[in-house]
Amino acid sequence: NPYGDFGLGAPDMVDGEPTILDGMASQSTADGKTIQAPASSKIPFAMVTNFKADTLASLSSFSSLTDLYTQLSTYLPNKHAIYAIKLRGSFNRIKTRAFPKVNTANIVPLAQMLDKQKFFEQEKVDGTLVGFWIPSYLAGINIAGFHFHFLSNNMALGGHVLEIISSQNVQVEIAKLEDFIFRIPDNASYKRYPFTGENNSDLKKVEKGEN
């Protein structure tokens, strides 16, 4: 990938959960399979970087995804910055999910497809979490807060992380990102999409000079 060797995203037609690790793109689909993504794959959304860690740490254990987030937060001194985060180790239990592929006649927002997502759980699995911390002011163009995908070492399990527990040491690598490039699509479907987002009320007042 010309934009980086580490990241995650959403695939064309919502067909699973893509993860990019060590320069390889994988795709975890709703049938429970994780494969190397074909070169012809399309990704309408991806967040990618050339991963170069500037902070190394080790977590001895965490009892939930929330507990993991709390511990990771101590290594992020500037909550207004963007961080790429990689965790490698053995996990006692992990739960992931993937959405099934949709067809062009049935495209709806993901929030209306939650009943279609497929869940996968496994105990005693070795692998890597690939993710980011995104500050709150970037909500809307990305998911604010932590966001992780998982890829097992044997490629048997992957997807968006919903829960995770570990009682063993997990190695953490963190890269603070100094800037980002936001590339806007230029295709017909993007131009036709009925975006409805608006400026908040305070911004409207500032722009119009109203009290």
Among 120-129, 139-148, 174-183, 197-206, which stretch is predicted with the lowest mean pLDDT? Answer: 197-206
The tens digit of pLDDT for each residue in 65-92 reads: 999 999 999 999 999 999 999 999 999 9
Residue 192 predicted with pLDDT over 70: yes
Look at residue 111 in the predicted model and tell me its pLDDT. 75
Look at residue 193 in the predicted model and tell me its pLDDT. 79
CA distance 132 to 146: 6
**Residues 30, 120, 159, 70: is their CA dihedral positive or negative?**
positive
CA distance 125 to 70: 22
**Residues 146, 4, 152, 34: is their CA dihedral positive or negative?**
positive
Q: Percentage of residues in the chain with pLDDT exceeding 70?
A: 92
Q: Percentage of residues in the chain with pLDDT exceeding 90?
A: 62
Q: Name the more confident of 61 and 204.
A: 61
Instruction: Check residue 20 and report its DSSP letter.
Output: E
Look at residue 166 in the predicted model and tell me its pLDDT. 97
Residue written as tokens 């936001």? 182
| pTM (two decimals) | 0.90
Average pLDDT over residues 185-200: 79
Q: Name the more confident of 111 and 181.
A: 181
Query: Using CB atoms within 10 A of its CB, is residue 128 exposed (0-12), middle (13-18) or buried (19+)?
Result: buried
Look at residue 153 in the predicted model and tell me its pLDDT. 96
